[in-house]
Structure formats: C-alpha cells, structure tokens
Amino acid sequence: MTATGVARATATRHRHAFVLLGSVQTVLIFTLAAIAIPLPHLAHEFALERSDVILLSAAYGLTFAGLLLFGGRLADRHGGRPVLTAGLLLFAAASAAVPFAPGIEVLLAARFAQGAGAALVAPAAMAVLRVLFPSPTAYGKAMATWGGLSVLGATAGNLLSGVISALLSWRWTFAVPLVVAITALALAPRLLPDTAPNRGRALDLPAALLATLGITLASYGLVVTDARPWSSSDVLVPLLGGTALLASFWYAEHRARDPLLPPRFLLDRRRALALTATALSACGTAMTFVIFSLHLQQGRDWSQLQTSAAFVPFAVALIASGRTAGPLIGRYGAGAVTSAGLGTGAAGLALLAGTGLDAHTWYAYGLLPGLVLLSAGAAASFAGAAVLATEGVPQRQSGLAGGVLNTAMEFGPTAVFAGLLTLGSDASSLAVTGAALAVAALLNHRTK
C-alpha cells in the first residue's frame, strides 16, 4: 500500500474510533436523562415514596460525579483503553440488570453501578482521544465536536425514553445503553489504539476517597433539598460532611507531591471560566428538561409521547448548532464561541421565563423560540468550553481533564439547581440561570 493509502486508512480508522467513543459518551448522558420522563410511571409501578423517587432519579449521577476524578487518575495511570474496557464491562452489566429489576432495591443498586461504570468510561474515553489525535490542532477540532455530545445525549434520553415508554415500557429504554456498551466492547480492540500506562504516577487512594465521598455526600445533600428543608438534618449532615471532606481534599492536594487534582490545574483563569460555562450550560438544559417535562405532563396533561415530541425542535437546533460550532471555533476562537453560546442560551432562558409557564400560552410562539435559542446556545458553549478546558493539557493529564470536565457537567447542575429550588418558582429559576449565563458570557469575553 502506498503512503497515501496508508494515510487514508489511518484517517478512516481514526474517524471510526471517534464515532465509537462519541457514541459511548452520548449514551452515558442518555442513561442519566432517560429516567426523567418515565419516572412518574415508574414510581407508580413500584409504589415509591417521594424520597425514593428523589434517590432513584439521583442514583446514577451521584456515583458518576463522585468517582470521576478517581476514574481520570486511573486512566492516566493505567492507560485509557484498559480503564475504558473495565468501565464498559461494569456499565453493561448494570444496564442489563435495570430492565429486569423486580423492585426498587435492585433498581437502585443497578443505577449506582451504572454511574460507577460511567465514571470510569468518560475520562478514559478522553484519554484515548488524546492518543488518537496527538496534534493540538486535530485534538482541538475533536474536542469542539465532543463538547456537544453530552447535551445531545441528554436530549436523546428525553426524546427516546418518552417514545419507548409510551410504545413499549420504560424497561426497554435501557436496552439502548446495553447495546451501545456491548458494541463498544466488541469494537474497541480493533479500532482503539493501545495506551501506555504511566506506572510512575501514584494512585493516591486517600485523596481519591476524600474526593469521592465529598462530592457524593454534598450532591446527595443538595438533591434531597427537593423534599426536605435546608435546616433539616437530612440536608445539613450530608451537605456539611461533604463540604468538610472536600475541604480536607483540597488541603491534602496542596501538600501532596503528586496530587490527584493539582490545584493550579483549576486556577488557570481560562480553564476555570470554561468549567463554569460547562456547569451553567448543563444546569440550564437539565433544568429546562425537568421543568418542561413536568409542566407539559402535569400542567397541560400531555402524554409522554407528546412531551417527547415537544423537544424535537430542541434536538434539531442542537445538532445544527453543534455542526457549525467547530468551524466557528477555528475561525473566531473557542472563547468567542463560548461567549456567544452563553449569551444565546441566556436569551433563550429569558424568553422562557417571560412566559411564566402559563398553561394557556401557545407552544409554537410562547415556548418554542426560547427552547430553540437555549439549545443552539448550549451546543455552542459546550463545544467552545470543551476546547478551552483541555487546551494545553499534556497527554499524561488527559484523563484528569476528562474527569474535571465531566464533574463540572454533573455536579454543577446539582448544586445550582438545588439552590434555585428555594426560589419556589420555575420561571424565577429560569430567569436567574439565564442571568448567570449572561454574566459568564461577559466575564469570558473580557478574559479572552
């Protein structure tokens, strides 16, 4: 084969590998969002109390967010592909258990295990990406596309879960992550490159334990504010305990020779703003999914199928914006695209908040414009922020970068959303989040 033929074959293999990794990343967030629309029916089937419903809705995200930093360090130490394979095995096994769960206990255990598997897969996939695209330019282009995959997965989770639940059963929804995980396990040895381990890096288990327990406890404390007052022990004990553990983790990292999360990694101004943009954009989209799913089904008595259909324009605008984000980043820079995306998302949330979620407001002119602007802005800000957050990161820290980026995407919405619940108004929550996006857009623009 000629040199040109070899180059083409290599480029084709890399494209196929990116599609495989991208599909895996998308399905990780799909699995997080897939339970939202069928949750009321699932609660009825298992006769769940409100506290059980809250825990079930949060179970996957708790272990996902809590173990991400540890998963990133494992990927950097042992290589991306081995950790990816281990995570996929756990994720697939847990996904196979979900549809056959006879009761809440098994279902909760399976969702916790799914999140643990996802916490290994997400940073490991980014570590493999760094090997696939060693050139900073090629890696930047890949990350511009990668940034929009999470919100695409969340949108697909809301769309497909409603359709599948309405036509078949909520249990069939979890055939999607199972099929994707099995396919990835089968294709990974052929498509993904070997990744060399870095045995010189210490695993730092005490720091990993502090971070995992701290994030998990704090997340749980924030989640239960939906059903308990902030002054209750059910909120204060895990929240204060998690905060104390995270403070201990931060102190230990400053003294460690080879820290799990080097403090200066987060203190880089552009990276800090990128992670803030990621957290706020994730919060805006996640909150919109939750609020509108409830508003349409409970306030307007729409079916699961109708509710899913209402988000189709959101998905179309998301895909269109995601496809244009990469070229725009190449032309204007990641900072400019992130700022524009945050501003557009803020405008969308302002329009949605302005409707007051009135049951008599027409969907076509009252809700649709805001949904389209929000999705277009979120796709652009995710793409730009992903490039900014990983810019200049050495290959040996690519797993860490993946863990930090995904932690912002998972823990950020939990923290912000819990705080907004105290406002007591869905429209006010949307307005405050929109204002936060606008401020972040302004700060990011001034930092460029």
Per-residue pLDDT band for 24 (boundaries 50, 70, 90) equals very high
What fold, for 9-190+203-443? Growth Hormone; Chain: A; (1.20.1250)
Contact 374, 285 (CB under 8 A): yes
pLDDT at 63: 86
Residue 200 has pLDDT above 70, yes or no: no
pLDDT at 72: 85
Contact 361, 355 (CB under 8 A): yes
Average pLDDT estimate for 407-418: 69
What is the rounded average pLDDT for all residues in the chain? 80
Higher pLDDT, 114 or 422: 114
pLDDT at 345: 87
Residue 182 has pLDDT above 90, yes or no: yes
pLDDT at 421: 56
Average pLDDT estimate for 286-297: 75
- What gap in Å lies between CA 325 and CA 383, rounded to an integer? 7
Q: Cα–Cα distances in Å, from 324 out to 14, 141, 280, 376, 379?
A: 21, 12, 21, 10, 10
pTM listed for this prediction: 0.82
Which tokens belong to 31? 């699995």
Q: State the sign of the Cα–Cα–Cα–Cα dihedral 228, 279, 284, 348.
A: positive
Contact 301, 312 (CB under 8 A): no
Per-residue pLDDT band for 357 (boundaries 50, 70, 90) equals low
- What residues contact residue 307 under an 8 Å CB cut-off, 6+ apart? 37, 162, 292, 293, 296, 297
Least confident range of 115-129, 220-234, 358-372, 405-419: 405-419
Per-residue pLDDT band for 401 (boundaries 50, 70, 90) equals confident
- What gap in Å lies between CA 437 and CA 92, rounded to an integer? 36
- What gap in Å lies between CA 152 and CA 391, rounded to an integer? 22
pLDDT at 335: 85
pLDDT at 157: 80
Per-residue pLDDT band for 291 (boundaries 50, 70, 90) equals confident
pLDDT at 312: 83
Q: Rounded to the nearest 5 degrees, what angle is found at the Cα of 405, between the Cα atoms of 320 and 417?
A: 80
- DSSP-based three-state secondary structure for 281: helix
Environment class of residue 355 by beta-carbon count within 10 Å: exposed (0-12), middle (13-18) or buried (19+)?
middle
Kindly report, residue by residue over 85-144, the tens digit of the pLDDT.
999 999 999 999 988 888 888 988 999 999 999 999 998 998 888 888 888 888 888 888
Per-residue pLDDT band for 429 (boundaries 50, 70, 90) equals low
- DSSP-based three-state secondary structure for 362: coil
Average pLDDT estimate for 284-294: 76
Task: Please state, as a whole number, how many other Cβ atoms lie within 10 Å of the Cβ of residue 161.
Answer: 27
Kindly report, residue by residue over 213-267, the tens digit of the pLDDT.
888 888 777 777 766 777 788 788 888 888 898 889 888 878 777 777 777 777 7
Higher pLDDT, 4 or 16: 16
- What gap in Å lies between CA 159 and CA 316, rounded to an integer? 12
Domain boundaries defined on the chain: 9-190+203-443
Q: Rounded to the nearest 5 degrees, what angle is found at the Cα of 281, between the Cα atoms of 278 and 284?
A: 150
Higher pLDDT, 320 or 297: 320
pLDDT at 226: 66
- What residue has token string 């800000």? 381
Per-residue pLDDT band for 74 (boundaries 50, 70, 90) equals confident
Higher pLDDT, 363 or 345: 345
Q: What is the Cβ-side half-sphere exposure of residue 242, based on CA atoms within 13 angstroms?
A: 22
Helices (H), strands (E): how many in the chain?
Answer: 19, 0
The b-or-e profile of 292-329 (16+ CB within 10 A means b, else e) is bbbbbbeeeebebeebbebbebbbebbeebbeebbebb
Residue 179 has pLDDT above 90, yes or no: yes
Contact 56, 107 (CB under 8 A): yes
Per-residue pLDDT band for 359 (boundaries 50, 70, 90) equals low
- What residue has token string 């989209």? 285
Least confident range of 109-118, 143-152, 311-320: 143-152
Q: For residue 252, what is the enclosing H or E element?
A: helix 233-255
In the DSSP assignment, the letter for residue 37 is T
Average pLDDT estimate for 192-215: 75
pLDDT at 329: 87
Which residue type does 137 have? T
Highest-scoring range by mean pLDDT, 21-30, 73-82, 293-302, 311-320 = 21-30
Q: For residue 71, what is the enclosing H or E element?
A: helix 50-78
Radius of gyration of the chain (CA): 21
